[in-house]
Each structure stands twice: as C-alpha cells, then as structure tokens.
Amino acid sequence: MTGTRRTRLILPVRNRPASSTVRGIRPRARSLALSAGALAACASLAVGCGVVPGTTGGSGDDPVTVMTWAPEKTAATNEPGMPAMAKAYARWVNSQGGINGRRLVVLTCNEKNDTVAAAKCAQRAADEDVVAVVGSYSQHGRSYLSPLEAAGIPYIGGYGVTDDEFTSPLSFPVNGGQPALLAGLGEQLAKPCGPVVLVRPDSVVGDTMPVLLDAGLRTGPHATSTDELAAEDATQYEEQTRSALRRATADPARKGCVVPSLGDRTDTFMDSFRRAREDYPAVRTAGVLGSIDQSLIDASGSTYEGTYVTGWYPEENDKRWNTMNKVIRKHAFGDNRIDPADPGVQTTWIAYTVLKAVVEKLGGGEVSARTVRRALDQGMKVTTGGLTPPLSWPFDDLVAPGGFARLTNANVTFQVVRQGRLVAARKGFVSVLKTLENASD
C-alpha cells in the first residue's frame, strides 16, 4: 500500500493518455453496432427480443457478469484472496438460485502491480461487457479508470489505495481507503507515542502517507512524524530499521513509535527490526490493517504484542463476520488464499454485498453497467450487517473531505494486539472526517 510529494491532498488533474481514449471508444462503438444489428434481427423475425448485446439480465434470468482483479505472485503487495473471495461468493449465491434468479459470473484478472497489466484488466472488463468491477485492488488508478470510464463501467468497492478511487464519478468506495486508515492511525498514536517514525514505500502512493498520518497526529496535539523511505520490494531493511529506531528513541522522556507501512514487505521489515531493537531503548510499533493483520501476528510470535492497528471494519472475530466465515468454510473449498482477517478479503465481501443489493433492487429489469451505475447514483442505501455504516453515493451524501469527492464512509476502528490477538482498543467506529478535512490545510 503505497502519490507525487505534496503538501496538499487535493491532487492535480492528470492528463489522460490519448491512447486510452481511443481504446475506450471501442466498447461503445461495438455496443452501438451490435445494438443496431440486434434491432434489425428483431424487426426481420417479427419476434420479441430481450436485451441487446452489451447488457445482461434483460430477460430477468440472464447471468450477471462482473470482474474482480488484484495483484498475485508479485515482488510487492499481493491480494490473491480478493479474487478467490469473489469466486466463493459467486458459488454461494448461485447455490441459492443466484440473485433474483440470475446466475452470478465472476471473471478474475491478475493486475500484477503493473500499470500496463492494470489497463489490460480494465480493457478486458470492457470487452467482456461486465456490469461492474467489484472488490478489487490496484495502485494504478489512472491506468484502469480511464478504460472503465470510457465504457461506463462502475468500480464498486475498490481497496482504496489510490486517491483516484475517491475522485472518479464511476467509483463507489465502501471504505475510507488509505486516507482514513492513516489519519485514524495518527489519532490513535497522538497520545501514547513520543517521536513517530513512518517507514513507507518510496513510491507515488507512499508519498501521500506522511500528510495523512500527520493530520491525525495534530489532533493530539503531536509533532509531525519523521519520514523514512524504503523500497517496496526490498529483501531486507537493516538500514531503514536502525535509522527508524535511532529517530524514534531521540526523546528519552517519551517512548517513541515506529510505523512500518510497507504492505506485504512489512514482515520483512520486522525481521530486521527484531534483530536490531535490542540495541536501542524500547519503542512501540503501529500500523494499518493490510500491512499488519492477524495471520502475520500468528506467524511472528510476540513481535507485534502491544502494536496499535487501525482498520476499516470490526476485528476479525466479531460476530458480524459470521456469514462471510460460513461462506468461506462451505464454498471456498479450502482455498488457502482466503484469509478472513485480510482487509482485502473483507472489502471484497462488502463490495459484493453492495452488488447483490443493487441487482435485487433492479428486480426483473435490465441489469447492465448503466442501470447499476444509475441505481447507485440515485441514492439507494446499502446496509452491510453493521460491518460499515449504511452506504450511499448520491451527491448530497458524499462527504468530500480533502478533495476526496467520492468518500462516503470516513469511519475506522482502533485495535491493538493483546496476547497475540487483534482486539478492539475502542468500541465502535471512529469518524476521521474532520481530520481528513484538515489534512490539506
């Protein structure tokens, strides 16, 4: 999880490459051509026709085709559990007769943490005429949103790792993304921590992290964090570890905090940290879900004991996850890519909950990218069994802090590692809306 360095969160308008515009025209042109052909066939055969090609569900029982993508088997952050969760969700709803009698078809794509691969996944979604891209992860918002926007395909429940997901009119985020997590973590650390050192990727997405974390720290009030850059795909972090420990222990009167936010490489950093920490005064550690989760804690002994963690959703043993856990046990067929504690898996579950609610609302009518997008734009509210507040994306409900025009859920949860388990450090959700609003000041 890792934007250009900036002192404001409101990002400059980015120029779209001309090639993506040309690519984006093809699905529309093809749809128009196929529509014309279908209408001609209807006229010549003098029979009733359902929906024209380019849409699904026109007859009330046609399949609903969607796509989920995420990076797999790369040297940086991987989220294989997201497409695996999507497949398990489809098996579950199809075992119950589908959604309003419509079979759910899930296409998956390996985004590879690569701009070209992300664009190819989006173009494939357009070529396959999917009604939505659901519950997906990518750091390359500019690459995939351009083809989706050209084809009119909504992006429901992205992981929230890029600012583009909170600005595109076709994006329907289900959480506050990285902005909310880091702002919330800053709030959580403002009182207990002395000097705070953020160890983060030297990348475009990583460049937004200090601004967001510092916005939360200022609520303490607390001094700004120290920024420690690291390669996202390094195999060891000895130099960064010692630098972080030296800076975090600079104030002998207050115990400092080291915040590794390196996605899948967080554990690699912590290997170096375990070896070096004995040479320095004691410090606390902290992070966000996605860099630190229960499976990582289970594999690391007592390394993370006492670590402060900020997440989007309730802790993994909360009963509100019971339905998801039952679906995983019965329909994932032992797929070990699916970790119920992984926020990517959880986000995919919530995103498909939104999709299911939309298709049910459309009833026996047309289910297409256009009708799904229209239902969401026109103010339908989706409940997620308490995993999030009720979600809705009409203009009047969007909170738009710090330039994130599509943000509708600014809530986070505060957790801590106690006796090897992630547990709630504070009951309920914490809104970081005001913190995000002040982050660009």
β-pairing verdict for 64-70 and 104-110: parallel
pLDDT value at position 12? 34
pLDDT value at position 16? 36
Determine the 3-state secondary structure of 317 from DSSP: coil
pLDDT, the chain, mean: 86
C-alpha–C-alpha distance, residues 116 and 114, integer Å: 6
pLDDT value at position 441? 57
Percent of the chain with pLDDT over 70: 84
C-alpha–C-alpha distance, residues 414 and 160, integer Å: 18
SS in 3 state form for 231-295?
CCCCCCCHHHHHHHHHHHCCCCCCCCEEEECCHHHHHHHHHHHHHHHHHCCCCEEEEECCCCCHH
The answer, yes or no, to whether residue 107 has pLDDT greater than 50, is yes
Q: Note the helical H segments in 131-237.
A: 141-151, 177-189, 209-217
The answer, yes or no, to whether residue 2 has pLDDT greater than 50, is no
Q: At what angle do helices 209-217 and 177-189 cross, to 10 degrees?
A: 40
The answer, yes or no, to whether residue 76 has pLDDT greater than 60, is yes
Work out the pLDDT band at 397, boundaries 50, 70, 90: low
The answer, yes or no, to whether residue 6 has pLDDT greater than 90, is no
The answer, yes or no, to whether residue 69 has pLDDT greater than 60, is yes
The answer, yes or no, to whether residue 49 has pLDDT greater than 60, is no
The answer, yes or no, to whether residue 46 has pLDDT greater than 90, is no
The answer, yes or no, to whether residue 274 has pLDDT greater than 70, is yes
**Residue 233 has which token pair?**
């795909």
pLDDT value at position 311? 97
Give Cα separations from 71 to 3, 137, 139, 159, 321 (angstroms): 19, 7, 10, 12, 25
C-alpha–C-alpha distance, residues 32 and 185, integer Å: 49
pLDDT value at position 347? 98
Angle value at C-alpha 347, between 388 and 375, nearest 5 degrees: 70
Work out the pLDDT band at 75, boundaries 50, 70, 90: confident
**Residue 102 has which token pair?**
């419509």
pLDDT value at position 402? 65
pLDDT value at position 60? 64
The answer, yes or no, to whether residue 396 has pLDDT greater than 80, is no
In tens, the pLDDT along 210-246 reads 999 999 999 999 999 999 999 988 999 999 999 999 9
pLDDT value at position 290? 85
What pTM was estimated for this model as a whole?
A: 0.83
The answer, yes or no, to whether residue 4 has pLDDT greater than 60, is no
The residue that leads in pLDDT, 390 or 8, is 390
C-alpha–C-alpha distance, residues 216 and 278, integer Å: 29
CA 88 to chain CA centroid, nearest Å: 19
C-alpha–C-alpha distance, residues 149 and 155, integer Å: 9
How many residues are there in the chain?
441
The answer, yes or no, to whether residue 3 has pLDDT greater than 70, is no
The residue that leads in pLDDT, 166 or 49, is 166
In tens, the pLDDT along 288-328 reads 988 898 888 998 888 999 999 999 999 998 999 999 999 99
The answer, yes or no, to whether residue 128 has pLDDT greater than 80, is yes
422 contacts 169 by C-beta, under 8 angstroms: no
